[in-house]
């Protein structure tokens, strides 16, 4: 039995998740009807907690979906008529772009070299939607927040949608600079998979309603107007993952008591000591070279021929690293750095990597 799961998703469960799950089963939450006041209270508690944790303004709605992957599709269907532009720096930002192509949009993209990100000088054409991946889970590349600021300044009429699947709750987004943010719960929130959270402002809703008024299909049951209309009543269009929403409320409440400032400081400390260890190690190193591009929440190590040996070394110590992604599966390891990972667990990880040698 592994003591610590450093895979980037599903990842380590938050320390209180099991307690909340026990309470949920005791209270029969998994069989609760979503048309009851009790569910409305749970939904309200969850969204209120997220607003407090992430400082989400009142002009943003919070809706629930089955996954973040579903939200890619909902964004393209509801927020674009013809065009979208995607900043691609890895496999998941590529899949966001691929979704737009599959939905017959005139999607364009700007590619970054492997292991590199984008600066505030990146050139983006005028488009209905700018699709950004704040944290590329496959490569450990993160998008500096000032890039979002510059894109908003130069593209006032475009909607800006941010995939924050493997970075929230860490980033301190300025919601006045963006229109849509989304995540799933099995990474930074330390919960079982099966729940996506989509945060959208009034501009997004207006765009979806404009498309509808033109007779353009924006989907079926899960259109944005339908999701938002039900969310205003603390409900959902169909039976949701009630247990997942309940567990998210509990963990978010715990995070608020811990404070987002503490979570952010600890995230930065853990990332700093691991990057320092990788930069000093004689056999392995950080895949992302530029400190400005380095993710704080998914740290990727280039291990080359030592990947299997390092994996065995860590597993013997009760630590499960994440495999590299795609073509890098056998030459890289990925380490999640989420609120569920304590400073002590990270210090042990760093010590174990530092002592690794052949």
Cα 10 to Cα 46, 188, 233, 309, distances in angstroms = 21, 9, 31, 23
Give the pLDDT confidence score for residue 120 in this predicted structure. 86
**Average pLDDT over the chain, rounded to whole?**
97
Give the pLDDT confidence score for residue 345 in this predicted structure. 97
Which string of b and e fits 220-245 if b means at least 16 CB within 10 Å?
eebbbebbbebbeebbbbeebbbbbb
Cα 259 to Cα 52, 256, 262, 263, distances in angstroms = 10, 5, 5, 7
Residues 26-68: tens digit of each pLDDT: 999 999 999 999 999 999 999 999 999 999 999 999 999 999 9
Rounded to whole angstroms, how far apart are CA atoms 207 and 342? 42
Mean pLDDT of 256-281: 98
Q: What DSSP line would sit under 97-121, residue for residue?
A: HHHHHHTT-EEEEEEPPTT----TT
- The answer to whether residue 193 scores a pLDDT higher than 60 is yes
260-355: CATH topology is: 3.90.1150
Confidence of residue 221 (pLDDT cuts 50, 70, 90): confident
Mean pLDDT of 6-32: 97
Tokens 């992302």: give the residue: 288
Confidence of residue 2 (pLDDT cuts 50, 70, 90): low
% of the chain surpassing 70 pLDDT:
99
Cα three-residue angle 303-304-305, rounded to 5 degrees: 115
Residues 151-178: tens digit of each pLDDT: 999 999 999 999 999 999 999 999 999 9
Residues 76-124: tens digit of each pLDDT: 999 999 999 999 999 999 999 999 999 999 999 999 999 999 988 899 9
Confidence of residue 358 (pLDDT cuts 50, 70, 90): confident
Give the pLDDT confidence score for residue 216 in this predicted structure. 96
Query: Can you give the residue ranges of every domain in the chain?
Result: 17-257, 260-355
Higher model confidence: residue 268 or residue 119?
268
Is the separation of the CB atoms in 88 and 97 below 8 Å?
A: yes
17-257: CATH topology is: 3.40.640
Mean pLDDT of 130-141: 98
Q: Is 82 exposed, middle or buried (0-12, 13-18, 19+ CB in 10 A)?
A: exposed
Strand, helix or coil for residue 236: coil
- The answer to whether residue 313 scores a pLDDT higher than 60 is yes
- The answer to whether residue 1 scores a pLDDT higher than 80 is no
- The answer to whether residue 296 scores a pLDDT higher than 70 is yes
Confidence of residue 187 (pLDDT cuts 50, 70, 90): very high
């Amino acid at each position: 039995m592994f003591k610590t799961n450093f895979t980037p998703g599903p990842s380590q469960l938050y320390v209180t998740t099991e307690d909340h799950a026990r309470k949920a089963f005791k209270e029969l939450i998994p069989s609760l009807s979503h048309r009851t006041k009790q569910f409305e209270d749970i939904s309200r508690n969850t969204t209120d907690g997220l607003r407090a944790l992430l400082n989400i303004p009142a002009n943003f709605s919070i809706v629930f979906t089955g996954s973040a992957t579903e939200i890619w599709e909902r964004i393209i269907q509801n927020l674009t008529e013809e065009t979208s532009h995607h900043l691609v720096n890895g496999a998941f930002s590529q899949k966001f772009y691929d979704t737009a192509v599959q939905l017959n949009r005139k999607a364009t993209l700007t590619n970054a070299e492997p292991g590199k990100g984008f600066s505030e000088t990146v050139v983006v054409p005028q488009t209905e939607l700018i699709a950004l991946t704040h944290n590329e889970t496959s490569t450990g590349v993160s998008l500096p927040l000032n890039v979002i600021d510059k894109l908003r300044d130069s593209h006032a009429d475009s909607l800006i949608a941010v995939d924050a699947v493997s970075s929230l709750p860490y980033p301190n987004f300025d919601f006045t600079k963006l229109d849509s943010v989304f995540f799933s719960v099995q990474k930074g929130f330390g919960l079982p998979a099966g729940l996506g959270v989509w945060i959208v402002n009034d501009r997004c809703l207006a765009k979806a309603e404009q498309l509808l008024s033109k007779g353009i299909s924006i989907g079926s049951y899960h259109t944005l107007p339908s999701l938002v209309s039900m969310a205003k009543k603390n409900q959902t269009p169909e039976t949701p993952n009630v247990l997942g929403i309940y567990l998210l409320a509990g963990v978010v409440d715990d995070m608020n008591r811990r404070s987002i400032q503490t979570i952010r400081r600890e995230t930065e400390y853990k990332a700093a000591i691991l990057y320092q260890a990788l930069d000093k190690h004689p056999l392995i190193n950080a895949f992302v070279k530029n400190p400005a591009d380095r993710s704080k929440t998914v740290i990727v190590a280039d291990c080359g021929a030592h990947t299997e040996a390092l994996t065995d070394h860590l597993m013997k110590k009760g630590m499960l690293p994440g495999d590299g992604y795609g073509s890098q599966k056998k030459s890289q390891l990925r380490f999640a750095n989420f609120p569920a990972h304590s400073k002590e667990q990270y210090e042990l990880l760093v010590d174990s990597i530092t002592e690794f040698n052949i």
